[in-house]
Structure 1
Amino acid sequence: MLIRIVKLGFHKENVSKFLNIFENSKDKIRNTEGCRLLELYRDKNDDTIFFTYSHWDEDIHLENYRNSAYFKKVWKNTKPLFNRKPEAWSVDRLERLD
């Protein structure tokens, strides 16, 4: 399994636009082949910073999504809203304690 964490920063006036884009795309993203989990977090101290957290069965599923026409459309609409370059990490879970 691949875990993907992406940090996104937005201009304050664009936050509601981003939230609307996420609301309209979250189900399609979550139902993409290989996607097992999709979550959105907001920084407690800076309400213009968000994190997406997703689980993918395999790297190829994430790559297929990132190369899809749908991702390109969503990214094209989201990219102009940023106030900084997004940061992304692909990580492996080593342990989980519930």
Structure 2
Amino acid sequence: MLVRIVRMTFQEGALAEFQSIFDGSKQHIRAFSGNCHLELLRDPTHPNVRMTYSLWTSAEALEAYRQSDLFRTTWAATKALFAERAVAFSGEKLEEVIPGDNLSKIT
């Protein structure tokens, strides 16, 4: 599983337009082959910052999305609203801790 986080800082007054872009594309992104999860997050201390958190079956699945027309058109419209360059990074999920997991090992 590949985790992708993208942090975006928007120009003053651009959040409503970004939300409209996101609302129009989120179901298409979520339905894209290889996407397992999509969330939109808000930075609690920086009101013009939004982040996307997405899970992909593989780096190849994410790359296929990044090469798609859906990504190109969505990203072009979103990028025009930035106040500064977006920061994106990916990580491979190694472990997920589930509440109560390994309780039998506690002595």
Q: TM-score band, normalised by the shorter chain?
A: over 0.9
- 1:76 aligns to what? 76
TM-score by length of 1: 0.95
Matched residue SS, 2:80: helix
Deviation readout 1:25-54 (Å, 9 max, x if unpaired): 000000000000000000001110011000
TM-score by length of 2: 0.87
1:78 positional shift: 0.9
Which ranges in structure 2 are unaligned for 5 or more consecutive residues?
Answer: 99-107
Greater per-residue helix proportion: 1
RMSD of aligned residue pairs (Cα, Å): 0.9
Structure number with larger C-alpha Rg: 2
Matches within 5 A, 1:60-75: 60-75=60-75
1:96 positional shift: 2.2
Alpha-carbon distance in 2 for matches of 1:70, 1:94: 29
- 1:47 aligns to what? 47
- 1:21 aligns to what? 21
Identity between Structure 1 and Structure 2 (%): 39
- 2:104 aligns to what? none
Alpha-carbon distance in 1 for matches of 2:44, 2:7: 14
